[in-house]
Amino acid sequence: MNILNQLSIWLSFQLSSIFILGIPLTIFIWSIKNKSLAITKLLSNYWKISILFFISLFLLIGKQNYALLITNISLLLMTISVWFWNDINEELREYQFPHALSTTTKVWRWSLTFLSLNFLIQSFNNIRCIYFINTEECEIWLKPATNLYLIIKSLFSFLFGASFSQPVANFLGLFGLTIYFLGLLQWALIKLPKNGRDSGFSNYGK
């Protein structure tokens, strides 16, 4: 794997911490403060979907094959979730450019889309890593998860006096993946046919 490719993968993970966690959390708090129901609902749905990304990090910590595939699926689902809802899209279109909150939300949606596309391209450039993560050439994909593992391990030791190992992370990741899949299946079979692409944001919080 060449240096440019390694740098691109490293940068992708650094940007993900900003556009997957930092910015949406800021927008979510901002929307609650400004009582913007549409954007609050959008971010609420986004957080439910984004759980899969954090599950994939646990799978990467456990060096589970196909973990990178789950990461890409999670990014795809997150991107779909921020564009999916017709009523929210219509509400956002009503705001003019100077409206700071809606403009920030729109810019973030496009940034998340490009980030997901970049992850997909990077993964296909290293397509073997999608299926077999435990190889030397795929080590760069595991490094961010390894850093997270060291942080969680230190926190577990400090707070609970317990050991947090890679097999434990792998078990939690697989367990979380199972629960997530069942929840997504329930939504697809029950809620989606009933509500379609209507988020019902006007009733959010009532």
pLDDT of residue 199: 87
- Can you give the residue range of the structural domain that contains 131? 3-203
Half-sphere exposure of 160 (CA within 13 A, CB side): 8
- Mean pLDDT for 110-129 is 88
What whole-number percentage of the chain has pLDDT above 90?
Answer: 47
Question: What does the buried/exposed string (b/e) look like for 143-161 if buried means 16 or more CB atoms within 10 Å of the residue's CB?
Answer: ebbeebbeebbeeeeeeee
The owner of tokens 């979510």 is 28
Task: Identify the DSSP state of 199.
Answer: -
pLDDT in tens, 6-29: 667 777 777 888 899 999 999 999
Q: Which of 45-49, 50-54, 95-99, 130-134 has the lowest mean pLDDT?
A: 95-99
Distances (CA, A) of 200 to 95, 104, 121: 19, 22, 34
pLDDT of residue 98: 76
CB neighbourhood size of 44 (10 A)? 16
The whole-chain average pLDDT of the chain stands at: 86
pLDDT in tens, 57-86: 889 888 888 999 999 999 999 999 999 999
Alpha carbon 36 to chain centroid, angstroms = 22
pLDDT of residue 11: 75
| pTM for the model | 0.88
The count of domains in the chain is: 1
Distances (CA, A) of 118 to 17, 25, 75, 124: 14, 22, 10, 10
Half-sphere exposure of 37 (CA within 13 A, CB side): 11
- Mean pLDDT for 81-98 is 88
Cβ–Cβ under 8 Å, residues 24 and 86: no
Handedness of CA 18, 40, 30, 106 (dihedral sign): positive
Query: C-alpha angle 180/183/187, rounded to 5°?
Result: 135
Q: Band of the pLDDT at 5, cuts 50, 70, 90?
A: low
- Mean pLDDT for 103-127 is 90
